[in-house]
Every structure is written in C-alpha cells, then in structure tokens.
Amino acid sequence: MCNCNGSHNDNPLLPVVGKIIKIVEETPDVKTFHVTSENGKPFTPMPGQLGMVSIVDVGEAMFSVTTQGPEHLEFAIKRVGTLTDVLHEAEVGQSIGVRGPYGNGFPIDLFKGKDVLFIGGGIGLAPVRSMINYCIENRDDFGKLTIIYGARSPEDLCFKDDLFENWPKVRDTEVHVTVDKGDDNWKGNVGFVPAFLEQINPSPENTIALTCGPPIMIKFVLQSLAKMNFQPEQIVTTLEMRMKCGIGKCGRCNIGSKFVCLDGPVFTLAELNQMPNEY
Amino acid sequence: MKSLSKANLSQFLETMNSKVRVYVPVEQDGVSRFAPWSQDCQLVLDRNTINPPKRLFFPQTEELYEYQVDKQDASVKSLAVKPEPFVVFGMRPCDVQSLKLLDDVFLTKGYEDIYYKQKREQGIVISLGCPEPEETCFCDSWGVNPARAPLADIMMIESEDKYLLEAQTEAGEKLLADLSGQLTDQSGELPEGKPCSLKVKNEGLMEHLQPKFEDPVWAEICRKCINCGTCTYLCPTCYCFDILNRTRGKQGVKYRCYDSCMYPEYTLMAGGHNPRPTKKERVRQRFLHKLQYIPERYQELGCVGCGRCIKKCPVNLDITRVINQLWEVE
C-alpha cells in the first residue's frame, strides 16, 4: 500500500490521499475544508478548476477549488448528500482522497485589463471566490472589482471574513451583500440578487460579469444583465453536473457534445447559447 | 494469405491457446458471448454474439483500486494490471470498428484510461468477416464493410470448406507465423461478402440532427421506451460507467461498472436536480449521442450497425426506424 505521495499521472482515476488540516464552519450547512498531502498541495489549480474529493470508503464527488494557499487547497462544501454528510461529520486529521485539477477554469485572458463584476448566490460563491482571490493577488491586471452576493439569510452567507473584512479593503473593490430575509441584527440590503444587481446597475463597458448560484438565480441574473446591455460574450458562468470520472470518460456530464468536466465547467453565455438547454 | 481447413479449426485454436489465451464466441447458458477457448466449448461462428466483445477490453465490472481505512487514516493501491497477451478470435467487423470509438473515448482528449489501455495493447484481434449479414445488420450504411475490418490484426473469411486468413499488422503476421504448421499458403485475395439488406441514410445525418434538439418528435420516439437499458448494455460502442465502493470492515475496493443513460439516477445530482428528468431527455440523449454528439466530438459515428439493440429491445424501438423518422422531420 502506498500513501500516494507521488503524482499518479499514469492513472488519473487513482486519488492522492491527503488530510484535512482545518475546517471552517461557514453557515449551518456549509463548511470549508483545507486539504493538504504529505508532499504539500495535492495539485495547483487555476481559478474555476475542479477537484474530485473522496472519503475513500464512502464515495467521491466533484467540487470547485474555492481558493488555495501555498501548501493547501480549500473546498467549500454544502451538506446535500451521502458523501457531504460524512464530510460534515469529519474532523481535522481525516484522510481525504483528492484528484485533479479538472476542467478549463475561468478564461483569465478574457478578464485581463477589464472591470470584473462578480455575482454569486449561496454556495455559488465558492467557485467565484477562486477568481476573486486571483484578481486580488494579481490586482494590477484587472480594473474595478464589483462583488454582489446574496444568500437566504444572514447566517447563510458564506465567507463572511472575506465579504466584510478582507475584500472591502482591497483597492478599487466594492462588495454588495443582500439576503432574501433579514433578522434583527441585519442592517444590510434585503431582497433577491437580480433586483439588487439592477439597483446597483453596473456599467457593461469594458466589463466581464461572472455569475454562479442556484439555477433560478442565474436565470433571472442573466435577464437582468441583458437588460443592462451586457452581451453574451461578456457573461461567464460555471456549471454543475453529476460526475464520476472527471476525465471525460464516464459519460454523464455531457451537454450535447461538450463534457462539463473537460470542456467546462466554465462557459460564456455565448457558448451556452450554442449548446442544448439541458443542464 | 493463408488458409485453414475447417476440419482443423479446433486444432488451430488449441495450438494457439497453448501459446496465448484465446477468447472465442460461444453459446453459454443460452447467451452468446466471448469466453476463453476450451475443447468442449460450443463455438458460435454463424452469427455475431449477443454480448459484445467490448467486455474483453472494458469489462462489465472492473476493480480500480483497493483501500484500507483505520479511523482517520486511509491508503490506496492501484489494481491496474497489464494482462498477458491474448487473442480475440472471431470478432465481427462492426465490433472491431467499435474499438476505434472506444479508443477515442478512453485514450484521447488529454487523459488515458490505463485500465482500458493495458488490455487494448495486449489484445490481438482476429476478425471474422460476415459473408451474409443478418437481417438486423446495417453496418455498411455506416461505411463498415461486413467482410473487412481494417483495424483487426488478422482478417479471416470463410470460403467453402476453409477459412482464409490475411495478416494486417505486425502482431498478426507474427501470430500467423507462429501457427504456420496449422496453415497452408494460399494465393488470391480475400473474397468480398454480401451487402446488408437493412439500410439507413447516413450522409449529412449529424448536420440534419443539429437543430432538432427541441423538436416534438422526441416525445413520440420515446413513447414506447421503458428505459430498461438493454440497448446500452449490448451496444458495442456504449462506454458509460459508474464508480462505486465495496467496503468490508477496514478495507474495500473501488470499482467501476457499466452504467446507462436510460436511468434517471445516471444524471441525478445530490440536492435533487436532474438535467434529464424524464425518458424523453434520456432517449434523446441516447440517439443524439450516437448520431450527433460523438460525430461532433470524435469525427466518428457512435453506431456501428451491429443490430444488437434492434434484436433485443423488448419494445422493438428500432434505431433504423428512429433514424428514418428523424430524416422525415423538416
């Protein structure tokens, strides 16, 4: 038995076994897991790329890498099924299988030199965050950053430190947060993301919009962006599908002839408009 | 070219099997399939097998790696093993063509599937041409010649009381040389077979289908399908798989097994969303995958015209009739 310290490039289905080194409770049903392996970071993804995460005797599922450090990867995971139930019960020190990076990631060159409008809803901020942090680390390569984020309630907001502490301090960066339903302590905006977006009304000029969230939010965000004259080429989103292999072989994550695990998960709206509406 | 007397076939297979493991088409428990050669096996050489030989390269279930867990700790170990060289004897040209597509899926687009690759590299294919295709065969509509398999190592055709064999690769030549004691030199060329009687119109099909995704015809086509998945399990080009765990105590095995786009769970996500929630989406996926998506992605057709799905579909959902129906849609 090996602990898979080395890479397994000859067998992409075999995971590297690493460990959870930190768990952050984001919301009642979202935790962020920091994962590393004996040889340091299991792999180095580009923003928007994916990792296949497993508890080896339970199962595997694909998650976006929400951000990374020099020695670790972070996965923000909502509790929704068998594997995520077990993950949410796990403690620091738990062995975790990881393989990747998978997928295309965000088209960095498309974003360079432009203002970036990030629109996230709920756990949909997880993949968006990888690009936000990339823009912050390479701040001079991008124009103004506008982050619009919403969740069901104040306690359902993910990455609160980033939203209220870290990101607002970054040069030429605006953070707008809304909740569907407030509570006694909530002083911020109450309302759905699409309406909030229209109220903020960012200009489409030299701007790329990146959105991810629940399907219903994306549907109305796209309508709002169209109203504000964003063109399909300026809108980028990232999709979710059931995946088993992550390497374009097992078959299930196709939309037409595109495989979300290989050709996605990131697509521009212009690309999506050319694909069958089956996601 | 070499010839082999039919009376010597058994001796030929026995000799070959003493050098490398040989898989042959046999009838077992009422089902025809490829199985290891033995003197008492019941060879099926007058028609293609119901179970496709893809299983020899991509088994129905296949162990990927084993694992051990102990409290929080875990370790894994690959179970990919390169097999000894083996021979697949009697694979039909349609099924040999299906290997081309499986190669595209498992060996291209940035990732090689080692489990498939190891078997594919070690397998020597002796194709048996079809002198007279069955009534459900339509391989020649897709450009497959029922009497020729260009990808096979050896092409073999029945001719009266003998078989004619022609090596098409180095591995094929070597195998025939090793078995030269069983074979006679023969002049001339391999005979052609008869064309298929069942036909479909192929040319321009992909382009014709591209704007038909939302067409109401899919609601009609799917009506009688019961989503049983038989077509996908018997199809020589279907390759979808699931990856599952089998855990006993502190150890277990991660394995894959055939899956099917006919089943709702295939695309069902944790959280409940399903992009293909009804049989209309699933049936559409199956046909468009074969006839449009695979051609777009790999510049190959996803159907080889073997006719197994026509023979075995319990509700007689015939892919050639579906294609004709799709051609009628404006």
Q: A36-68 pLDDT, tens per residue?
A: 999 999 999 999 999 999 999 999 999 999 999
Nearest residue to A96 (alpha-carbon basis) of A71, A43, A47, A59: A59
Whether A90 and A202 share a structural domain: no
Nearest residue to B271 (alpha-carbon basis) of A266, A81, A91: A81
Whether A127 and A226 share a structural domain: yes
Across the strands, what pairs with A209? A117, A235
- Whether residues B292 and A257 touch (CB distance < 8 A) is answered with yes
In a domain? residue A56: yes
Q: Using one digit for the tens of pLDDT, what is the confidence trace for A77-126?
A: 999 999 999 999 999 999 999 999 999 999 999 999 999 999 999 999 99
Confidence at residue A65, expressed as pLDDT on a 0 to 100 scale: 98
For the domain that residue A184 is a member of, what is the CATH number? 3.40.50.80
Whether A128 and A220 share a structural domain: yes
Mean pLDDT over the full length of chain B: 96
**Amino acid, single-letter form, for residue B207:** E
Whether A73 and A136 share a structural domain: no
Residue B231, SS3 per DSSP:
helix
In a domain? residue A278: no
Whether A29 and A136 share a structural domain: no
- Whether residues A17 and B254 touch (CB distance < 8 A) is answered with no
Whether A191 and A132 share a structural domain: yes
Residues 223-252 of A with CB under 8 A from B: 240-242, 244-245, 247-252
In a domain? residue A162: yes
Q: Using one digit for the tens of pLDDT, what is the confidence trace for B228-267?
A: 999 999 999 999 999 999 999 999 999 999 999 999 999 9
Confidence at residue A10, expressed as pLDDT on a 0 to 100 scale: 86
Whether pLDDT at A31 is above 90: yes
Confidence at residue A112, expressed as pLDDT on a 0 to 100 scale: 98
Q: How far is CA A194 from CA A94, A158, A179, B177, in A?
A: 39, 18, 12, 73
**Residue A175: which H helix or E strand, with range?**
strand A173-179
- Residue given tokens 């073997």 in the structure block: B306
Residues 83-112 of A with CB under 8 A from B: 83-84, 91, 93-95, 97
Distance CA A193, CA A210 (A): 14
For the domain that residue A31 is a member of, what is the CATH number? 2.40.30.10
Of the residues A87, A102, A117, the one at which a domain ends: A102
Whether pLDDT at B271 is above 90: no
In a domain? residue A261: no
Whether pLDDT at B293 is above 90: yes
Distance CA B264, CA B278 (A): 7
Is B75 within 8 Å of chain A by CB?
yes
Of the residues A102, A137, A153, the one at which a domain ends: A102
In a domain? residue A65: yes
Of the residues A68, A102, A136, the one at which a domain ends: A102
In a domain? residue A248: no
Whether A94 and A115 share a structural domain: no
Number of structural domains chain A divides into:
2
Q: How far is CA B94 from CA A69, A234, B198, B321, in A?
A: 51, 46, 14, 19
Across the strands, what pairs with B24? B35
Q: Using one digit for the tens of pLDDT, what is the confidence trace for B149-199?
A: 999 999 999 999 999 999 999 999 999 999 999 999 999 999 998 999 999
Across the strands, what pairs with B253? B66, B246
Whether pLDDT at A3 is above 80: no
**Amino acid, single-letter form, for residue A81:** G
Q: Which residues contact B189 (CB under 8 A, 6 or more apart)?
A: B1
Q: How far is CA B210 from CA B45, B101, B288, B322, B326, in A?
A: 39, 21, 9, 16, 11
Whether A66 and A113 share a structural domain: no
Whether A163 and A211 share a structural domain: yes
Whether pLDDT at B221 is above 50: yes
Per-residue confidence at B6, pLDDT binned at 50, 70, 90? Answer: very high
In a domain? residue A259: no
In a domain? residue A8: no
Q: Using one digit for the tens of pLDDT, what is the confidence trace for A208-238?
A: 999 999 989 999 999 999 999 999 999 999 9
Confidence at residue A96, expressed as pLDDT on a 0 to 100 scale: 97
Distance CA B32, CA B26 (A): 5
Mean per-residue pLDDT, A246-269: 96
Per-residue confidence at A9, pLDDT binned at 50, 70, 90? Answer: low
Confidence at residue B39, expressed as pLDDT on a 0 to 100 scale: 94
Mean per-residue pLDDT, B107-122: 96
Confidence at residue A7, expressed as pLDDT on a 0 to 100 scale: 43
To the nearest whole Å, the CA of B20 is away from the closest chain A CA by: 27
- Closest chain A residue to B78, measured at CA: A14
Q: Which runs of consecutive H residues, i.e. helices, occur in A32-124?
A: 82-89, 108-111
Mean pLDDT over the full length of chain A: 95
The rounded percent of chain B whose pLDDT value lies above 70 is 100
To the nearest whole Å, the CA of A22 is away from the closest chain B CA by: 14
Read off the pTM. Answer: 0.94
Q: Which residues contact A9 (CB under 8 A, 6 or more apart)?
A: none
Whether pLDDT at B88 is above 60: yes
Confidence at residue A8, expressed as pLDDT on a 0 to 100 scale: 47
Whether A88 and A112 share a structural domain: no
Per-residue confidence at B131, pLDDT binned at 50, 70, 90? Answer: confident
A5-14, A90-99, B110-119: least confident range: A5-14
Confidence at residue B175, expressed as pLDDT on a 0 to 100 scale: 97
Task: Please count the other Cβ atoms lying within 10 Å of the Cβ belonging to residue B62.
Answer: 17
Q: Quick check: B291 and B302 in contact, CB under 8 A?
A: yes
Distance CA A48, CA A68 (A): 11
Mean per-residue pLDDT, A230-247: 96
Whether pLDDT at A6 is above 50: no
Q: Which residues of A touch B106 (CB under 8 A)?
A: 249
Mean per-residue pLDDT, B260-285: 95
Q: Which residues of A233-259 are buried (b: 16+ CB within 10 A; e: fewer)?
A: ebbbbbbbbbbbbbbbbbbbbbbbbbb
Q: A212: domain range?
A: 108-238
Whether A96 and A122 share a structural domain: no
Whether A215 and A124 share a structural domain: yes
